[in-house]
Chain A
Amino acid sequence: MKILVCIKQVPDMESRFKLNAAGTWYSDQDLAWRMNEYDEFAVEQAILLREKIGDAEVVILCVGPDRVKETMKKGLAMGADRGLHIQDEASYDKDPFQIASAIAAYASDQNFDLIFTGMQSQDRGSAQVGLLLAGILGIPAVSTIVGFDFDGKEVTVRRELEGGLKSVHKTVLPALFTCQLGLNTPRYPTLPNIMKAKKKELVSIPVGELLKVEALTATTLTRFPDRKGGGVILEGEISDLTAQLMSILKEKTAVLK
Protein backbone atom coordinates (compact mmCIF):
# COMPACT_ATOMS: atom_id res chain seq x y z
CA MET A 1 0.00 0.00 0.00
CA LYS A 2 1.19 3.52 -0.82
CA ILE A 3 0.17 6.36 1.46
CA LEU A 4 0.66 10.08 0.82
CA VAL A 5 0.53 12.64 3.61
CA CYS A 6 0.43 16.35 2.73
CA ILE A 7 1.91 18.59 5.36
CA LYS A 8 2.33 22.32 5.55
CA GLN A 9 4.84 24.38 7.48
CA VAL A 10 3.23 27.21 9.45
CA PRO A 11 4.46 29.79 11.96
CA ASP A 12 3.81 29.37 15.65
CA MET A 13 0.47 31.10 16.20
CA GLU A 14 1.75 32.79 19.37
CA SER A 15 4.19 34.79 17.22
CA ARG A 16 4.07 38.54 16.91
CA PHE A 17 3.24 38.89 13.24
CA LYS A 18 4.52 41.65 10.99
CA LEU A 19 3.43 42.28 7.40
CA ASN A 20 5.62 41.66 4.36
CA ALA A 21 6.83 44.57 2.22
CA ALA A 22 4.01 44.20 -0.31
CA GLY A 23 1.43 44.13 2.52
CA THR A 24 -0.10 40.94 1.13
CA TRP A 25 0.93 38.40 3.78
CA TYR A 26 2.87 38.13 7.02
CA SER A 27 6.61 38.66 6.86
CA ASP A 28 8.44 35.35 7.14
CA GLN A 29 11.30 36.87 9.15
CA ASP A 30 11.90 36.06 12.84
CA LEU A 31 9.25 33.38 13.10
CA ALA A 32 9.40 29.95 14.70
CA TRP A 33 8.16 27.37 12.20
CA ARG A 34 6.37 24.14 12.91
CA MET A 35 4.21 21.49 11.31
CA ASN A 36 0.57 22.53 10.83
CA GLU A 37 -1.15 21.03 13.86
CA TYR A 38 -3.85 19.23 11.85
CA ASP A 39 -1.17 17.61 9.68
CA GLU A 40 0.47 16.00 12.72
CA PHE A 41 -2.67 13.90 13.07
CA ALA A 42 -2.45 13.02 9.36
CA VAL A 43 1.17 11.84 9.68
CA GLU A 44 0.36 9.86 12.81
CA GLN A 45 -2.61 8.13 11.16
CA ALA A 46 -0.45 7.04 8.23
CA ILE A 47 2.23 5.63 10.57
CA LEU A 48 -0.37 3.84 12.71
CA LEU A 49 -1.80 2.24 9.58
CA ARG A 50 1.61 1.12 8.37
CA GLU A 51 2.31 -0.37 11.80
CA LYS A 52 -0.98 -2.25 11.56
CA ILE A 53 -0.73 -3.63 8.03
CA GLY A 54 3.04 -3.88 7.76
CA ASP A 55 3.49 -3.64 4.03
CA ALA A 56 3.08 0.07 3.33
CA GLU A 57 5.13 3.06 2.31
CA VAL A 58 4.43 6.50 3.76
CA VAL A 59 5.47 9.49 1.64
CA ILE A 60 5.23 13.00 3.06
CA LEU A 61 4.86 15.93 0.74
CA CYS A 62 5.21 19.65 1.32
CA VAL A 63 5.00 22.64 -1.02
CA GLY A 64 7.14 25.56 0.11
CA PRO A 65 10.56 27.21 0.27
CA ASP A 66 13.68 25.33 1.37
CA ARG A 67 13.03 25.97 5.06
CA VAL A 68 10.06 23.53 4.97
CA LYS A 69 12.56 20.67 4.79
CA GLU A 70 13.10 21.11 8.55
CA THR A 71 9.42 20.40 9.15
CA MET A 72 9.50 17.51 6.70
CA LYS A 73 12.34 16.00 8.75
CA LYS A 74 10.01 15.97 11.73
CA GLY A 75 7.55 13.93 9.66
CA LEU A 76 10.36 11.56 8.70
CA ALA A 77 11.40 11.30 12.35
CA MET A 78 7.81 10.45 13.29
CA GLY A 79 8.21 7.51 10.92
CA ALA A 80 7.42 8.48 7.31
CA ASP A 81 9.61 6.60 4.81
CA ARG A 82 10.54 9.38 2.43
CA GLY A 83 9.83 12.99 1.59
CA LEU A 84 8.87 14.81 -1.57
CA HIS A 85 9.46 18.55 -1.45
CA ILE A 86 7.82 20.74 -4.08
CA GLN A 87 10.20 23.67 -4.01
CA ASP A 88 8.42 27.02 -4.21
CA GLU A 89 9.83 30.24 -2.76
CA ALA A 90 6.49 31.96 -3.31
CA SER A 91 4.12 29.24 -2.10
CA TYR A 92 2.48 31.78 0.22
CA ASP A 93 1.21 33.56 -2.88
CA LYS A 94 -0.38 30.47 -4.44
CA ASP A 95 -4.06 29.87 -3.84
CA PRO A 96 -5.47 26.53 -2.62
CA PHE A 97 -6.39 25.56 -6.18
CA GLN A 98 -2.77 25.98 -7.29
CA ILE A 99 -1.35 24.11 -4.29
CA ALA A 100 -3.77 21.23 -4.87
CA SER A 101 -3.00 21.24 -8.61
CA ALA A 102 0.75 21.04 -8.01
CA ILE A 103 0.32 18.15 -5.56
CA ALA A 104 -2.07 16.41 -7.96
CA ALA A 105 0.41 16.76 -10.82
CA TYR A 106 2.94 14.84 -8.75
CA ALA A 107 0.47 12.30 -7.33
CA SER A 108 -1.45 11.53 -10.51
CA ASP A 109 0.86 8.74 -11.74
CA GLN A 110 2.01 7.50 -8.33
CA ASN A 111 -1.00 5.29 -7.55
CA PHE A 112 -1.44 6.24 -3.93
CA ASP A 113 -4.05 4.07 -2.21
CA LEU A 114 -4.60 6.55 0.56
CA ILE A 115 -4.02 10.25 0.99
CA PHE A 116 -4.20 12.10 4.29
CA THR A 117 -4.21 15.88 4.66
CA GLY A 118 -5.07 18.16 7.56
CA MET A 119 -8.59 19.57 7.58
CA GLN A 120 -7.17 23.10 7.45
CA SER A 121 -3.94 25.00 7.72
CA GLN A 122 -3.48 27.18 10.79
CA ASP A 123 -2.26 30.22 8.90
CA ARG A 124 -4.31 30.19 5.67
CA GLY A 125 -7.14 28.09 7.03
CA SER A 126 -9.02 27.59 3.78
CA ALA A 127 -9.93 23.92 4.39
CA GLN A 128 -9.78 23.43 0.63
CA VAL A 129 -6.51 21.80 -0.44
CA GLY A 130 -7.44 18.22 0.55
CA LEU A 131 -10.86 18.20 -1.07
CA LEU A 132 -9.58 19.93 -4.21
CA LEU A 133 -6.76 17.39 -4.49
CA ALA A 134 -9.21 14.48 -4.26
CA GLY A 135 -11.43 16.16 -6.82
CA ILE A 136 -8.60 16.67 -9.30
CA LEU A 137 -7.46 13.06 -8.82
CA GLY A 138 -11.05 11.84 -9.09
CA ILE A 139 -11.06 9.86 -5.85
CA PRO A 140 -13.63 9.93 -3.02
CA ALA A 141 -12.91 12.15 -0.03
CA VAL A 142 -14.27 12.54 3.47
CA SER A 143 -13.35 15.65 5.43
CA THR A 144 -12.93 16.27 9.16
CA ILE A 145 -12.36 12.71 10.33
CA VAL A 146 -11.94 11.92 14.02
CA GLY A 147 -11.87 8.14 13.65
CA PHE A 148 -10.21 5.85 11.10
CA ASP A 149 -10.15 2.09 10.65
CA PHE A 150 -9.06 -0.11 7.74
CA ASP A 151 -10.14 -3.76 7.64
CA GLY A 152 -7.98 -4.75 4.65
CA LYS A 153 -10.67 -3.88 2.14
CA GLU A 154 -12.74 -0.94 3.25
CA VAL A 155 -12.14 2.14 5.36
CA THR A 156 -14.54 3.15 8.13
CA VAL A 157 -14.28 6.76 9.24
CA ARG A 158 -16.01 8.90 11.83
CA ARG A 159 -16.70 12.39 10.63
CA GLU A 160 -17.15 15.23 13.08
CA LEU A 161 -20.25 17.41 12.81
CA GLU A 162 -21.35 20.23 15.09
CA GLY A 163 -22.10 20.05 18.82
CA GLY A 164 -20.58 16.63 19.56
CA LEU A 165 -22.45 14.74 16.82
CA LYS A 166 -20.51 12.40 14.51
CA SER A 167 -21.40 10.42 11.43
CA VAL A 168 -19.93 7.09 10.38
CA HIS A 169 -19.04 6.30 6.76
CA LYS A 170 -17.47 3.50 4.78
CA THR A 171 -15.54 3.88 1.56
CA VAL A 172 -13.31 1.83 -0.70
CA LEU A 173 -9.77 2.84 -1.65
CA PRO A 174 -8.19 4.85 -3.17
CA ALA A 175 -9.57 7.70 -1.10
CA LEU A 176 -8.53 10.90 0.63
CA PHE A 177 -9.27 11.94 4.19
CA THR A 178 -8.80 15.30 5.87
CA CYS A 179 -7.83 14.95 9.52
CA GLN A 180 -9.35 16.80 12.44
CA LEU A 181 -7.80 17.44 15.86
CA GLY A 182 -8.13 14.50 18.23
CA LEU A 183 -8.05 11.81 15.52
CA ASN A 184 -5.19 10.14 17.39
CA THR A 185 -2.28 11.16 19.62
CA PRO A 186 0.62 12.36 17.44
CA ARG A 187 3.90 10.89 18.67
CA TYR A 188 7.02 12.84 19.55
CA PRO A 189 10.01 11.79 17.48
CA THR A 190 12.58 9.93 19.59
CA LEU A 191 16.28 10.80 19.38
CA PRO A 192 17.23 7.58 17.50
CA ASN A 193 14.42 8.25 15.02
CA ILE A 194 15.57 11.84 14.55
CA MET A 195 19.04 10.47 13.70
CA LYS A 196 17.56 7.89 11.32
CA ALA A 197 15.44 10.54 9.61
CA LYS A 198 18.60 12.36 8.51
CA LYS A 199 19.40 9.47 6.19
CA LYS A 200 15.95 9.16 4.66
CA GLU A 201 15.29 10.23 1.08
CA LEU A 202 14.07 13.83 0.69
CA VAL A 203 13.80 14.86 -2.96
CA SER A 204 13.01 18.39 -4.16
CA ILE A 205 11.18 19.15 -7.41
CA PRO A 206 10.84 22.78 -8.60
CA VAL A 207 7.18 23.84 -8.54
CA GLY A 208 7.44 25.05 -12.14
CA GLU A 209 7.69 21.45 -13.32
CA LEU A 210 4.31 20.63 -11.79
CA LEU A 211 2.21 23.77 -11.63
CA LYS A 212 0.49 24.71 -14.86
CA VAL A 213 -2.61 26.60 -13.68
CA GLU A 214 -3.28 30.22 -12.78
CA ALA A 215 -4.66 31.32 -9.43
CA LEU A 216 -8.42 31.74 -9.10
CA THR A 217 -8.18 34.21 -6.22
CA ALA A 218 -5.80 37.01 -5.33
CA THR A 219 -4.97 38.64 -2.02
CA THR A 220 -5.52 42.38 -2.24
CA LEU A 221 -4.00 43.03 1.14
CA THR A 222 -3.39 41.58 4.56
CA ARG A 223 -3.96 43.75 7.63
CA PHE A 224 -4.29 43.76 11.38
CA PRO A 225 -7.93 43.65 12.45
CA ASP A 226 -9.48 46.74 14.00
CA ARG A 227 -9.71 46.23 17.71
CA LYS A 228 -13.38 46.30 18.56
CA GLY A 229 -13.03 44.89 22.02
CA GLY A 230 -12.49 47.77 24.42
CA GLY A 231 -11.44 45.54 27.29
CA VAL A 232 -9.03 46.50 30.04
CA ILE A 233 -5.50 45.16 29.80
CA LEU A 234 -3.72 44.49 33.07
CA GLU A 235 0.05 44.10 33.16
CA GLY A 236 2.59 44.12 35.95
CA GLU A 237 3.45 42.37 39.21
CA ILE A 238 1.35 39.34 40.10
CA SER A 239 0.29 40.72 43.49
CA ASP A 240 -0.90 43.99 41.93
CA LEU A 241 -2.69 42.10 39.20
CA THR A 242 -4.69 39.93 41.60
CA ALA A 243 -5.68 42.97 43.66
CA GLN A 244 -6.75 44.87 40.54
CA LEU A 245 -8.75 41.95 39.19
CA MET A 246 -10.43 41.39 42.58
CA SER A 247 -11.65 44.96 42.69
CA ILE A 248 -12.87 44.84 39.07
CA LEU A 249 -14.78 41.63 39.82
CA LYS A 250 -16.33 43.22 42.93
CA GLU A 251 -17.42 46.25 41.00
CA LYS A 252 -18.53 44.68 37.73
CA THR A 253 -19.88 41.25 38.63
CA ALA A 254 -22.15 39.80 41.27
CA VAL A 255 -19.99 36.76 41.88
CA LEU A 256 -17.87 38.12 44.76
CA LYS A 257 -20.36 38.52 47.56
Chain B
Amino acid sequence: MKTLLVAESRQNKLLSGSYETVAFARRMDAEAVMFLVGSESDLPKFDGRLYLVESSAAGEYNPEEHLRLLLEVVAKESPELIVFLHSSYGWDLAPRVALALQASQISEVIDCDGGEMVVPVCNAKLQRVVAARSAMTVVTLQTGAFSLEGVPSGSPTVEKLSGENDTKIRFIGYEEAEAGGVDLSKAGVIVSAGRGIGKPENLAMIEALAKALGGEYGASRPVVDSGWAEHSRQVGSTGQTVAPKLYLACGISGAIQHLTGMKKSEFIVAINTDRDAPIREVADVLVVADLKQFVPALTASLENR
Protein backbone atom coordinates (compact mmCIF):
# COMPACT_ATOMS: atom_id res chain seq x y z
CA MET B 1 0.00 0.00 0.00
CA LYS B 2 1.17 3.51 -0.77
CA THR B 3 0.47 6.45 1.52
CA LEU B 4 0.86 10.18 1.09
CA LEU B 5 1.67 11.79 4.44
CA VAL B 6 0.79 15.44 4.89
CA ALA B 7 3.29 17.13 7.20
CA GLU B 8 2.68 20.53 8.79
CA SER B 9 4.67 23.62 9.42
CA ARG B 10 3.94 26.95 11.08
CA GLN B 11 6.01 30.09 10.73
CA ASN B 12 8.70 28.01 9.01
CA LYS B 13 8.96 25.49 11.84
CA LEU B 14 8.08 21.89 11.20
CA LEU B 15 5.35 20.76 13.61
CA SER B 16 6.38 17.63 15.52
CA GLY B 17 2.93 16.11 15.01
CA SER B 18 4.05 15.45 11.44
CA TYR B 19 5.92 12.41 12.74
CA GLU B 20 2.66 10.88 13.90
CA THR B 21 1.77 10.36 10.23
CA VAL B 22 5.07 8.51 9.80
CA ALA B 23 4.26 6.34 12.81
CA PHE B 24 0.89 5.55 11.27
CA ALA B 25 2.45 4.55 7.92
CA ARG B 26 4.81 2.21 9.79
CA ARG B 27 1.92 0.75 11.71
CA MET B 28 0.15 0.11 8.38
CA ASP B 29 3.40 -1.30 7.02
CA ALA B 30 2.96 1.01 4.04
CA GLU B 31 5.26 2.76 1.62
CA ALA B 32 5.22 6.53 2.21
CA VAL B 33 5.89 9.80 0.45
CA MET B 34 5.45 13.14 2.14
CA PHE B 35 4.01 16.54 1.29
CA LEU B 36 4.88 19.73 3.14
CA VAL B 37 4.15 23.38 2.72
CA GLY B 38 6.93 24.68 4.89
CA SER B 39 10.54 25.65 4.68
CA GLU B 40 13.73 24.10 3.41
CA SER B 41 15.36 25.35 6.62
CA ASP B 42 13.39 22.83 8.71
CA LEU B 43 12.86 19.59 6.86
CA PRO B 44 11.29 16.49 8.38
CA LYS B 45 13.69 13.71 9.29
CA PHE B 46 12.23 11.16 6.95
CA ASP B 47 13.74 8.70 4.49
CA GLY B 48 11.72 9.03 1.35
CA ARG B 49 10.45 11.48 -1.21
CA LEU B 50 9.28 14.84 0.09
CA TYR B 51 7.28 17.22 -2.07
CA LEU B 52 8.11 20.62 -0.69
CA VAL B 53 6.44 23.95 -1.33
CA GLU B 54 7.83 27.03 0.35
CA SER B 55 5.15 28.61 2.53
CA SER B 56 6.55 32.00 1.59
CA ALA B 57 5.16 31.20 -1.87
CA ALA B 58 1.99 29.20 -1.15
CA GLY B 59 0.97 30.72 2.20
CA GLU B 60 0.58 28.77 5.42
CA TYR B 61 -3.18 28.75 5.38
CA ASN B 62 -4.30 28.90 1.83
CA PRO B 63 -6.61 25.91 1.42
CA GLU B 64 -7.38 26.46 -2.26
CA GLU B 65 -3.71 26.50 -3.22
CA HIS B 66 -2.71 23.69 -0.85
CA LEU B 67 -5.51 21.60 -2.33
CA ARG B 68 -4.29 22.29 -5.85
CA LEU B 69 -0.72 21.33 -4.91
CA LEU B 70 -1.81 18.17 -3.13
CA LEU B 71 -3.84 17.08 -6.14
CA GLU B 72 -0.74 17.57 -8.27
CA VAL B 73 1.18 15.20 -5.98
CA VAL B 74 -1.68 12.70 -5.90
CA ALA B 75 -1.68 12.63 -9.71
CA LYS B 76 2.04 11.82 -9.69
CA GLU B 77 2.05 9.28 -6.89
CA SER B 78 -1.41 7.67 -6.96
CA PRO B 79 -1.49 6.90 -3.22
CA GLU B 80 -4.26 4.70 -1.85
CA LEU B 81 -4.25 6.49 1.47
CA ILE B 82 -3.71 10.19 2.24
CA VAL B 83 -2.85 10.85 5.87
CA PHE B 84 -3.40 14.09 7.77
CA LEU B 85 -3.24 14.93 11.42
CA HIS B 86 -6.63 15.84 12.94
CA SER B 87 -5.35 19.37 13.62
CA SER B 88 -6.55 22.82 12.60
CA TYR B 89 -4.59 22.31 9.37
CA GLY B 90 -5.62 18.71 8.75
CA TRP B 91 -9.34 18.86 9.51
CA ASP B 92 -9.60 21.91 7.28
CA LEU B 93 -7.76 20.56 4.27
CA ALA B 94 -8.70 16.86 4.40
CA PRO B 95 -12.40 17.19 3.38
CA ARG B 96 -11.44 19.46 0.49
CA VAL B 97 -9.00 16.84 -0.78
CA ALA B 98 -11.45 13.99 -0.22
CA LEU B 99 -14.20 15.80 -2.13
CA ALA B 100 -11.96 16.65 -5.07
CA LEU B 101 -10.90 13.00 -5.37
CA GLN B 102 -14.34 11.54 -4.54
CA ALA B 103 -12.43 9.69 -1.85
CA SER B 104 -13.88 8.60 1.47
CA GLN B 105 -12.70 10.41 4.56
CA ILE B 106 -12.38 8.88 8.00
CA SER B 107 -11.77 11.47 10.72
CA GLU B 108 -9.89 11.26 13.99
CA VAL B 109 -8.53 7.74 13.60
CA ILE B 110 -7.14 6.28 16.84
CA ASP B 111 -6.36 2.77 15.70
CA CYS B 112 -6.45 0.53 12.67
CA ASP B 113 -7.84 -2.93 12.46
CA GLY B 114 -6.62 -4.47 9.21
CA GLY B 115 -7.92 -2.12 6.55
CA GLU B 116 -10.59 -0.71 8.83
CA MET B 117 -10.20 2.39 10.96
CA VAL B 118 -11.28 2.90 14.55
CA VAL B 119 -12.66 6.30 15.52
CA PRO B 120 -14.09 7.57 18.82
CA VAL B 121 -17.67 8.85 18.90
CA CYS B 122 -19.87 10.45 21.58
CA ASN B 123 -16.98 11.98 23.51
CA ALA B 124 -15.09 8.64 23.35
CA LYS B 125 -17.88 6.78 25.15
CA LEU B 126 -18.19 4.62 22.03
CA GLN B 127 -15.98 3.59 19.12
CA ARG B 128 -16.88 3.06 15.51
CA VAL B 129 -15.06 0.75 13.15
CA VAL B 130 -15.29 2.28 9.69
CA ALA B 131 -14.55 0.87 6.27
CA ALA B 132 -13.92 2.89 3.12
CA ARG B 133 -15.94 2.12 0.02
CA SER B 134 -13.79 4.10 -2.38
CA ALA B 135 -10.50 3.37 -4.13
CA MET B 136 -8.74 6.22 -2.36
CA THR B 137 -9.13 7.07 1.31
CA VAL B 138 -8.30 10.18 3.30
CA VAL B 139 -7.74 9.83 7.04
CA THR B 140 -7.05 12.33 9.79
CA LEU B 141 -5.28 10.96 12.88
CA GLN B 142 -6.21 11.96 16.40
CA THR B 143 -3.22 13.83 17.78
CA GLY B 144 -1.19 11.64 20.09
CA ALA B 145 -2.79 8.38 18.95
CA PHE B 146 0.22 7.20 16.94
CA SER B 147 3.75 7.99 17.98
CA LEU B 148 7.17 7.06 16.69
CA GLU B 149 9.34 4.80 18.75
CA GLY B 150 12.60 6.60 19.32
CA VAL B 151 13.73 9.87 17.79
CA PRO B 152 12.90 10.65 14.17
CA SER B 153 15.78 10.14 11.77
CA GLY B 154 16.44 10.14 8.06
CA SER B 155 16.77 12.70 5.32
CA PRO B 156 14.29 13.15 2.52
CA THR B 157 14.80 13.38 -1.21
CA VAL B 158 13.31 16.78 -1.84
CA GLU B 159 11.23 17.54 -4.89
CA LYS B 160 10.18 21.17 -5.02
CA LEU B 161 6.86 22.42 -6.29
CA SER B 162 6.03 26.04 -6.83
CA GLY B 163 2.99 27.63 -5.28
CA GLU B 164 1.05 30.84 -5.63
CA ASN B 165 -0.52 32.85 -2.90
CA ASP B 166 -3.61 34.10 -4.66
CA THR B 167 -6.85 33.11 -2.96
CA LYS B 168 -10.34 34.20 -2.03
CA ILE B 169 -9.48 33.74 1.63
CA ARG B 170 -6.84 36.30 2.48
CA PHE B 171 -4.46 35.76 5.39
CA ILE B 172 -4.11 38.93 7.47
CA GLY B 173 -1.90 37.80 10.34
CA TYR B 174 -1.49 35.78 13.50
CA GLU B 175 -2.76 36.68 16.96
CA GLU B 176 -0.86 35.26 19.90
CA ALA B 177 -2.69 34.33 23.11
CA GLU B 178 -2.60 37.13 25.63
CA ALA B 179 0.53 36.88 27.68
CA GLY B 180 0.44 36.95 31.47
CA GLY B 181 -1.91 35.35 33.92
CA VAL B 182 -1.03 32.22 35.82
CA ASP B 183 1.68 29.80 34.71
CA LEU B 184 0.00 26.53 35.57
CA SER B 185 3.00 24.51 34.40
CA LYS B 186 4.77 25.53 37.64
CA ALA B 187 2.03 24.30 39.99
CA GLY B 188 2.57 21.04 41.88
CA VAL B 189 -1.16 20.56 42.40
CA ILE B 190 -3.91 21.68 40.05
CA VAL B 191 -7.61 21.49 40.85
CA SER B 192 -9.62 22.11 37.70
CA ALA B 193 -13.22 23.16 37.34
CA GLY B 194 -15.37 21.87 34.50
CA ARG B 195 -18.86 22.66 33.30
CA GLY B 196 -20.09 20.37 36.07
CA ILE B 197 -19.61 23.22 38.56
CA GLY B 198 -22.90 24.51 37.13
CA LYS B 199 -22.54 28.20 37.96
CA PRO B 200 -19.69 30.69 38.37
CA GLU B 201 -20.28 31.06 42.13
CA ASN B 202 -19.15 27.44 42.57
CA LEU B 203 -15.68 28.27 41.31
CA ALA B 204 -14.96 29.52 44.84
CA MET B 205 -15.09 25.96 46.22
CA ILE B 206 -12.61 24.79 43.58
CA GLU B 207 -10.29 27.66 44.49
CA ALA B 208 -10.61 26.81 48.17
CA LEU B 209 -9.68 23.18 47.53
CA ALA B 210 -6.70 24.26 45.43
CA LYS B 211 -5.58 26.51 48.27
CA ALA B 212 -5.99 23.76 50.86
CA LEU B 213 -3.72 21.57 48.72
CA GLY B 214 -1.21 24.37 48.19
CA GLY B 215 -1.88 24.46 44.45
CA GLU B 216 -3.55 26.47 41.71
CA TYR B 217 -6.93 26.14 40.12
CA GLY B 218 -7.41 25.44 36.42
CA ALA B 219 -10.45 25.11 34.17
CA SER B 220 -11.85 23.33 31.18
CA ARG B 221 -12.74 25.30 28.10
CA PRO B 222 -16.47 25.93 28.67
CA VAL B 223 -15.65 27.50 32.04
CA VAL B 224 -13.22 29.86 30.30
CA ASP B 225 -15.50 30.49 27.31
CA SER B 226 -18.29 31.48 29.71
CA GLY B 227 -15.98 34.06 31.21
CA TRP B 228 -15.93 32.36 34.64
CA ALA B 229 -12.14 31.95 34.56
CA GLU B 230 -9.37 33.67 32.62
CA HIS B 231 -7.83 31.99 29.56
CA SER B 232 -4.46 31.41 31.20
CA ARG B 233 -6.20 28.87 33.46
CA GLN B 234 -7.48 26.75 30.58
CA VAL B 235 -5.99 23.28 30.38
CA GLY B 236 -5.99 21.48 27.04
CA SER B 237 -5.00 21.55 23.41
CA THR B 238 -5.97 25.21 23.02
CA GLY B 239 -4.81 26.12 26.51
CA GLN B 240 -1.95 25.02 28.75
CA THR B 241 -0.27 21.64 28.91
CA VAL B 242 0.41 20.63 32.48
CA ALA B 243 1.92 17.68 34.37
CA PRO B 244 1.60 18.36 38.12
CA LYS B 245 2.12 15.82 40.89
CA LEU B 246 -1.63 15.83 41.48
CA TYR B 247 -4.45 16.85 39.13
CA LEU B 248 -8.04 16.93 40.34
CA ALA B 249 -10.64 17.19 37.60
CA CYS B 250 -13.94 18.37 39.09
CA GLY B 251 -16.99 18.08 36.82
CA ILE B 252 -14.88 17.54 33.71
CA SER B 253 -16.03 14.87 31.24
CA GLY B 254 -12.59 14.17 29.77
CA ALA B 255 -12.83 15.21 26.12
CA ILE B 256 -9.67 14.41 24.18
CA GLN B 257 -8.77 18.10 23.87
CA HIS B 258 -8.78 18.38 27.65
CA LEU B 259 -6.91 15.10 28.19
CA THR B 260 -4.16 16.25 25.81
CA GLY B 261 -3.35 19.00 28.27
CA MET B 262 -3.24 16.98 31.51
CA LYS B 263 -2.87 13.25 30.96
CA LYS B 264 0.85 13.30 31.81
CA SER B 265 0.05 14.40 35.38
CA GLU B 266 1.60 12.05 37.96
CA PHE B 267 -1.62 11.29 39.80
CA ILE B 268 -5.11 12.06 38.54
CA VAL B 269 -8.31 12.19 40.57
CA ALA B 270 -11.65 12.81 38.88
CA ILE B 271 -14.84 13.82 40.64
CA ASN B 272 -17.85 13.17 38.46
CA THR B 273 -21.48 12.16 38.81
CA ASP B 274 -21.20 10.09 35.62
CA ARG B 275 -19.51 6.76 36.32
CA ASP B 276 -18.86 6.31 32.59
CA ALA B 277 -17.34 9.74 31.99
CA PRO B 278 -14.35 9.31 29.67
CA ILE B 279 -12.04 11.03 32.20
CA ARG B 280 -12.12 7.61 33.86
CA GLU B 281 -9.72 6.39 31.18
CA VAL B 282 -6.84 8.48 32.60
CA ALA B 283 -7.91 8.80 36.24
CA ASP B 284 -6.09 6.90 38.98
CA VAL B 285 -9.13 7.50 41.16
CA LEU B 286 -12.66 8.30 40.04
CA VAL B 287 -14.88 9.58 42.82
CA VAL B 288 -18.50 9.17 41.75
CA ALA B 289 -20.11 12.06 43.58
CA ASP B 290 -21.69 15.47 43.26
CA LEU B 291 -18.77 17.87 43.40
CA LYS B 292 -20.91 20.45 45.21
CA GLN B 293 -20.97 18.13 48.22
CA PHE B 294 -17.68 16.34 47.80
CA VAL B 295 -15.33 19.27 47.13
CA PRO B 296 -16.23 21.31 50.26
CA ALA B 297 -16.12 18.13 52.34
CA LEU B 298 -12.63 17.29 51.07
CA THR B 299 -11.46 20.85 51.69
CA ALA B 300 -12.77 20.65 55.24
CA SER B 301 -10.96 17.37 55.95
CA LEU B 302 -7.73 18.80 54.57
CA GLU B 303 -8.05 21.88 56.74
CA ASN B 304 -8.84 19.83 59.86
CA ARG B 305 -5.95 17.51 59.30
Contacts and interface: CB of A to CB of B under 8 A. Distances in A.
B287 A163 contact: no
A231 B301 contact: no
Given A17-B122, A165-B175, A224-B126, A216 B298 contact: no
A222 B300 CA distance: 44
B209 to A, nearest CB: 11
Interface string B231-275: 100000111000001100000010000000000001111000011
B283 A125 contact: no
B285 A231 contact: yes
Contacts of B168: 140, 171-172, 175
A166 B177 CA distance: 8
A105 B283 CA distance: 46
Nearest to A14: B274
Interface residues of B, number: 92
B106 A217 contact: yes
Contact of A162 (B92, B129, B238, B300): B238
A53 interface: no
B173 to A, nearest CB: 5
B285 A248 contact: yes
B107 A125 contact: yes
A123 B285 contact: no
Given A17-B122, A125-B108, A125-B121, A216 B134 contact: yes
B280 A217 contact: no
Contact of B170 (A122, A124, A171, A252): A171
A75 to B, nearest CB: 20
A131 B96 contact: yes
Most buried by A among B87, B171, B225, B281: B225
B10 to A, nearest CB: 7
A96 interface: yes
Interface stretch (A55-63, A191-199, A201-209, A232-240): A232-240
Interface string B162-195: 0000001111111111000000000011000000
Contacts of B127: 222-225
Contacts of A128: 94-95, 98, 105, 107
B46 interface: no
A255 B130 contact: no
A172 B129 CA distance: 39
B104 A216 contact: yes
Interface in A228-257: 228-229, 231-235, 238-239, 241-243, 245-246, 248-249, 252-256
Nearest to B134: A216
Interface in A22-63: 25-26
A181 interface: yes
A97 B269 CA distance: 40
A242 B301 CA distance: 7
B102 interface: yes
Nearest to A181: B225
A217 B127 CA distance: 15
Contacts of A229: 280-283
Interface stretch (B23-31, B198-206, B288-296): B288-296
Contacts of B125: 13, 17, 224-225
A85 interface: no
B169 A171 contact: yes
Contacts of A153: none
Interface in B62-115: 63-64, 86-88, 91-92, 94-96, 98-100, 102-108
B230 interface: no
A182 B221 contact: yes
Nearest to B287: A234
A158 B205 CA distance: 34
Nearest to B273: A14
B271 to A, nearest CB: 9
Contacts of B98: 97, 128, 132, 216
A255 B120 contact: no
Contact of B231 (A135, A164, A181, A242): A164
Contacts of B133: 214-218
Contacts of A249: 246, 267, 269
B208 interface: no
Contacts of B253: 13-14
Contact of B269 (A13, A123, A132, A245): A245
B213 to A, nearest CB: 6
Contacts of B94: 128
Question: Closest 8 interchain pairs by CB?
Answer: A164-B177, A216-B104, A182-B225, A131-B95, A168-B172, A135-B99, A166-B175, A140-B168
Given A224-B126, A231-B283, 9 more contacts: A13-B123, A169-B170, A217-B104, A217-B106, A217-B131, A225-B124, A239-B297, A252-B267, A255-B245
Interface of B: 10, 61, 63-64, 86-88, 91-92, 94-96, 98-100, 102-108, 116, 119-134, 168-177, 188-189, 213-215, 221-222, 224-226, 231, 237-239, 245-246, 253, 266-269, 274-277, 280-289, 293-294, 297-298, 300-302, 305
